Structure 1
Amino acid sequence: MALRCLVTGGAGFLGSHLSDRLIERGHSVICVDNLQTGRLSNIAHLLGNPAFEYRQHDVIAPLEISGRIDRIYNLACAASPPKYQRDPIHTFQTCVFGILNMLGLAQREGARILQASTSEVYGDPEISPQPESYRGVVNTVGPRSCYDEGKRAAETLMHDFHEARGVDIRIARIFNTYGPRMDPGDGRVVSNFVTQALSDKPITIYGDGMQTRSLCFMDDLIEGLIALMESETVGPEPVNLGNPGEFSVGEIARIVRDMCNSRSQIVHSERPVDDPHQRCPDIGRARRMLGWAPTVSLTEGLAPTIAYFRSELGLVGREIGGVA
């Protein structure tokens, strides 16, 4: 059955790939994005497609859509720390007002809605890997709080609309994801390290580099989002989506440098406030309920990612990890 899908944040890194995948599966997509962090270049190839419609709109304002809506994927919100900290009030508004508006639309249309939540709801965790039952350690008044607490509030609203008004919900707790179409200025570990390595600039590690991250390639993550949305058995409980392969930040820096054939030196800088020590998902629920697990290794995913950044940065003539 062809579905009519609304994707907020649809011109962003993940939203644009999700739009591609939904259209490939025979569905139509209404992409909504205010272009705060999304980019028209991410969806330029879709603009002439009759199955795709783009609307520039900020989800903190109510949205009117004519015709039926079957699925709502709410991906609207800057996920890059430098970008969501730039306007923390708007970030929190996007999380809270945005999901309120989308839940209202879902209720009116009888649509199923998926919230792109985050591993940041676990804060700086005291246990690893992090299961969905873990309630986390989150600072309510730190520089990351607008995003962390905004996403936690959005989960609460999803739960309450389900319990009180019967809205059909799905909650994805997304762990670090990378791949082509990331913004070179994203400010997270993969984009930072790759852009520095390709330019032979010092690769900056914040802290001692022993903190860990689990990196999921975007193809795997998109498959997980669609599997979660279309599951008839998973129910309203949150589901972790991420790659349980855990690497120290120092390891990631060395892998990226080697794959870029870079001469960059690795340097250390002060660690940001509330930067988590560990990030590793327990994906047992996703395995059991969705039959989902990532299949792309870190080096397999980094090869096309590096090639993409090389093109974005206008760097040519250098062989990168076997990719010319």
Structure 2
Amino acid sequence: MAKRILITGAAGFLGSHLCDKFIAEGYQVIGMDNLITGDKKNIEHLFQHKSFQFFHHDVTTFVHVPGKLDYILHFASPASPIDYLKIPIQTLKVGSLGTHNLLGLAKEKNARILIASTSEVYGDPQVHPQDENYYGNVNTIGPRGVYDEAKRFQESITMAYHRFHGLETRIARIFNTYGPRMRLNDGRVIPAFIGQALRGEDLTVFGDGSQTRSFCYIDDQIEGIYRLLLSDYQYPVNIGNPEEISILDFAEEIISLTATHQKIVYKELPKDDPLQRQPDISRAKEILNWEPKVKRAEGMKKTYDYFKGLSLEELEKKEHKDFKEHIRK
């Protein structure tokens, strides 16, 4: 009998690709999303698939799934600065109440659970590159704290369930990931740059552009998460691409890729924006036998082709349709 897996945040960027992966691997997949930042278009190709079910549900309220569950992937959360700065309370709730609910469900079903943590737990790091033993440098009361602390709490309660209840848990610390199905106007570096290039706008670089990021293509990220779920390792594992690049150099790459002639304009660096971001993936290499395969030039070409296929309306859309509905909750 096929194993059953619940994937929260299923209509989001990472969640939708995880649905594809586990269906391809022969699992029965239950997708769950409240669609605040997710989009059903990302999973509509699965609606007729016999191995897929979808529940429109907010995991910060009681979560019930009938029947057995073998695995849970908790990927429900706003993940970009635009998202979590507009809906800070929901961001904190999905990391705390939502995680608590899903850990309880995993305990009830005797299921293994993997939670999606983030490189943001390292804050603006004073250690470079960042390995899993680094505790981070986070401003708990800054504007980004709602996301950073939600994820740090998520890790803490997950390990508490592991230690106190003997629950099988996995923690993926996800670094910057890109590829098809990203939201064009979600504020992250790659869709922001590509969107500006496609609209003929100047590319906006914050600060002097010397801050660095490390970009992992979606296919590599999904494979790393898949291997971590099926591993025997319960502590956090960095999943990301260690190839580091400055934001200014990356802006130049985008201009070259898109064959546009936009200028680069500079704006003030947002508060607590990390100046360096590069994963140490030694643990993933050793435990999961995993490392990224897709070079940035190849991954960016695929991503750009995806964005080029979007409609003019999508290119010009500035705000997700559901924010106004949920902003005061």
User: Taking structure 1 as the reference length, what is the TM-score of the superposition?
Assistant: 0.95
2:241 corresponds to which of 218, 227, 243: 243
Correspondence 1:153-302 to 2 at 5 A: 153-232=153-232, 234=233, 236-302=234-300
Please state if 1:61 is matched with 2:61: yes
Give the residue type in structure 2 aligned to 1:272. Answer: P
Please give the alpha-carbon distance, in whole angstroms, between the structure 1 residues aligned to 2:127 and 2:138. Answer: 13
Match of 2:316 in 1: none
**Tell me, what secondary structure is at the counterpart of 1:85?**
helix
- Any unmatched runs of 5+ in structure 2? 314-329
Match of 2:30 in 1: 30
Moved over 6 A (4+): none
Give the residue type in structure 2 aligned to 1:56. Answer: H
Match of 2:301 in 1: 303
Note the C-alpha offset of 1:2.
Answer: 2.6
Summarize deviations over 1:205-239 as a string: whole Å, max 9, x none.
0000000000000000000000000013x2x1100
Summarize deviations over 1:226-276 as a string: whole Å, max 9, x none.
0000013x2x11000000000000111111111011121111001100000
Please give the alpha-carbon distance, in whole angstroms, between the structure 2 residues aligned to 1:255 and 1:314. Answer: 23
Identity level (%)? 48
Please give the alpha-carbon distance, in whole angstroms, between the structure 2 residues aligned to 1:153 and 1:169. Answer: 15
Note the C-alpha offset of 1:200.
Answer: 1.7
Give the residue type in structure 1 aligned to 2:253. Answer: I
1:184–1:312 Cα contact (<8 Å) kept: no
Match of 2:327 in 1: none
Give the residue type in structure 2 aligned to 1:21. Answer: K
- Any unmatched runs of 5+ in structure 1? 316-324
Note the C-alpha offset of 1:128.
Answer: 0.8
Note the C-alpha offset of 1:314.
Answer: 3.9
Match of 1:42 in 2: 42
Please state if 1:86 is matched with 2:86: yes
Note the C-alpha offset of 1:168.
Answer: 0.2
1:173–1:240 Cα contact (<8 Å) kept: yes
Please state if 1:6 is matched with 2:28: no
1:184–1:195 Cα contact (<8 Å) kept: yes
CA RMSD of aligned residues (A): 0.9
**Tell me, what secondary structure is at the counterpart of 2:309?**
helix
Match of 2:326 in 1: none
Note the C-alpha offset of 1:28.
Answer: 1.1
Give the residue type in structure 2 aligned to 1:122. Answer: Y
Summarize deviations over 1:135-189 as a string: whole Å, max 9, x none.
0000000000000000000000000000000110000000000000000111010
Please give the alpha-carbon distance, in whole angstroms, between the structure 2 residues aligned to 1:137 and 1:301. Answer: 31
Note the C-alpha offset of 1:102.
Answer: 0.4
Give the residue type in structure 2 aligned to 1:50. Answer: K
Give the residue type in structure 1 aligned to 2:292. Answer: P
**Tell me, what secondary structure is at the counterpart of 1:288?**
helix
Alignment length (residue pairs): 313
Please give the alpha-carbon distance, in whole angstroms, between the structure 2 residues aligned to 1:188 and 1:280. Answer: 16
Please give the alpha-carbon distance, in whole angstroms, between the structure 1 residues aligned to 2:71 and 2:278. Answer: 29
Please give the alpha-carbon distance, in whole angstroms, between the structure 1 residues aligned to 2:166 and 2:225. Answer: 21
Note the C-alpha offset of 1:43.
Answer: 0.4
**Tell me, what secondary structure is at the counterpart of 2:86?**
coil
Please give the alpha-carbon distance, in whole angstroms, between the structure 1 residues aligned to 2:145 and 2:138. Answer: 8
Please give the alpha-carbon distance, in whole angstroms, between the structure 2 residues aligned to 1:37 and 1:176. Answer: 18
1:175–1:216 Cα contact (<8 Å) kept: yes
Please give the alpha-carbon distance, in whole angstroms, between the structure 2 residues aligned to 1:226 and 1:151. Answer: 20
Please give the alpha-carbon distance, in whole angstroms, between the structure 2 residues aligned to 1:241 and 1:172. Answer: 7
1:10–1:38 Cα contact (<8 Å) kept: yes
Note the C-alpha offset of 1:313.
Answer: 4.0
